[in-house]
Amino acid sequence: MKVYLITIGDEILIGQIVDTNSAWMGQQLNLNGAHITGIMTVSDEAESIVQALEQGLRFADVILMTGGLGPTKDDVTKKVLAEFTGGRLSFHEPTYRRIERFFKQLGRQPTEAHRLQSYMPDNATLLTNPMGTAPGMWFEVDGKVIVSMPGVPYEMKALMQKEVLPRLKAQYPLERIAHRTLLTAGEGESRIAERIADLEDALPPHIKLAYLPNLGRVRLRLSSRGSQSDQYQDELEQWANRFKERVEDLLFGEEEDRLEAVVGQMLKARGLWLSTAESCTGGYLSHLITSIPGSSAYFLGGIVAYSNIVKQEKLGVRTATLETDGAVSEATVREMVAGTLQHFGGDIAVAVSGIAGPGGGTPEKPVGTIWLAVGDHNMTEAYLLKAGKDREKNIEYTGAHALNFIRRFLKKHYPASLANG
């Protein structure tokens, strides 16, 4: 089943709101074996809606639309759909009575606009909206289906789950689809692609690999489509295991795992306490760590040592180090780790110092030069991260690399076999 998604609303086009409806519908449809052929957002104008409908019918079996079903004059979707499908609007008494009951529960009376809202296309099958006043509409046109739903996300979701998806499953044969997602950190998309090129080339036609990069991380999604048997699921699992073995050193989790949660689990399992010293990230790394419920079981705290004075007075970074090597240097982050361990008395510390930008760079240390260090009371490891020129991205990129550095340090020096519990 091929599906085309249309969202209607000037508020989406001008960036006043974000279209979350398409993302959610796409996810649900994919899980049910549907193939999304396109997504389009159009204005609240009849001509734009008609053009979107014509395009959707060229590329798909089903069009799912959201928006434009309210009681105000700018909501023209019903009128356009009635004309487009060869129907006409007529007053629908059950819809009006339902609106009356809805407002009676609120102690109010419906307006004339709500009465006008009760005019429905006479060639549509109306779908009960349990969360609002506007029903969904199901049209059949030359063997294809057009469904119109309200743009309010919780109303659309209720209609999709209770009405639309069950009807689509009954009318169209849906392929079986399964996904396995591997989560990696520490290498870019192109280097991972080189490492697994032979495995990717050997994949059978019904299994596809997608690279989904993010700052400091890459998701590898294996998808199997087209089988009604459990055999393909087993095969997908076997291929996922082969890819996992190939990227084992980069792999930090699967599916919806978060790197900060994985690091927290590793620290907790080993009975270790972590503390942070941050310069260029300004507390962002500590925010990531403490965004995980239960992080108080392994995180002591952090110091935002943004100025050299704080680096010296709170972390014990030597004046000679700052004068000779600079605040952004391997020597400085190593001393920041030592000072953090002394200040908090924990087991593991991480330190970052860099030039996030957009200014402050030099020919020797351009914007995006960032030093990281992780250590305990016996050893400290450091490395240079070369990021870009965008300040916000550099901070996020550094946060991801710092978390992965902690993960690698724990894996190397505190093996799981030695973990407490």
Q: Please give the residue that has the higher pLDDT: either 127 or 177.
A: 127
Q: How far apart are alpha carbons 166 and 160 in whole angstroms?
A: 8
Structural domain boundaries, residue 96: 2-171
Average pLDDT, whole number, for the chain?
92
Indicate the angle between helix axes 259-270 and 391-413, nearest 10 degrees. 30
pLDDT for residue 365 is more than 50: yes
Judgement on whether residues 401 and 266 belong to the same structural domain of the protein: yes
pTM beyond cutoff 0.85 = no
Q: What is the CATH number of the domain that holds 199?
A: 3.30.70.2860
Judgement on whether residues 223 and 127 belong to the same structural domain of the protein: no
Section 164-179 average pLDDT? 87
Judgement on whether residues 235 and 367 belong to the same structural domain of the protein: no
Query: What is the pLDDT, as a whole number, of residue 334?
Result: 98
Judgement on whether residues 152 and 182 belong to the same structural domain of the protein: no
Q: How far is CA 179 from CA 27, 166, 206, 245, in A?
A: 12, 22, 12, 18
The fraction of the chain above a pLDDT of 90, given in percent, is 78
Q: What is the CATH number of the domain that holds 58?
A: 3.40.980.10
DSSP SS3 for 90: strand
DSSP SS3 for 414: coil
With residue 48 as reference, give the H or E element that holds it.
helix 46-59
Question: Which of the listed residues 171, 201, 228 is the one where a domain comes to its end?
Answer: 171
- E strands, 29-83, where? 35-42, 62-66
Pairing verdict, β 274-278 and 299-304:
parallel
Q: How far is CA 20 from CA 7, 26, 35, 152, 298, in A?
A: 10, 10, 18, 10, 35
Section 260-274 average pLDDT? 97
Residue 87: count of CB within 10 angstroms of its CB: 17
Judgement on whether residues 271 and 243 belong to the same structural domain of the protein: no
Judgement on whether residues 85 and 123 belong to the same structural domain of the protein: yes
Judgement on whether residues 146 and 199 belong to the same structural domain of the protein: no
Query: What is the pLDDT, as a whole number, of residue 160?
Result: 96
- Residue entry with tokens 């860099």: 354
Per-residue pLDDT of 184-239, as tens digits, reads 999 999 999 999 999 999 999 989 999 999 989 999 999 887 655 566 788 999 99
Judgement on whether residues 86 and 41 belong to the same structural domain of the protein: yes
Q: How far apart are alpha carbons 398 and 415 in whole angstroms?
A: 25
Q: Please give the residue that has the higher pLDDT: either 351 or 233.
A: 351
Judgement on whether residues 278 and 414 belong to the same structural domain of the protein: yes
Question: Which of the listed residues 232, 254, 276 is the one where a domain comes to its end?
Answer: 254
Judgement on whether residues 136 and 278 belong to the same structural domain of the protein: no
The fraction of the chain above a pLDDT of 70, given in percent, is 96
Judgement on whether residues 152 and 194 belong to the same structural domain of the protein: no
- Mention every residue, 6+ apart, whose C-beta is less than 8 A from residue 108: none
Q: How far apart are alpha carbons 202 and 188 in whole angstroms?
A: 22
Residue 144 is given by DSSP the state E
Total tally of structural domains belonging to the chain: 3
pLDDT for residue 240 is more than 80: yes
Judgement on whether residues 189 and 153 belong to the same structural domain of the protein: no
Q: Which band of pLDDT confidence, cut at 50, 70 and 90, is reported for residue 162?
A: very high
Question: Which of the listed residues 226, 254, 282 is the one where a domain comes to its end?
Answer: 254
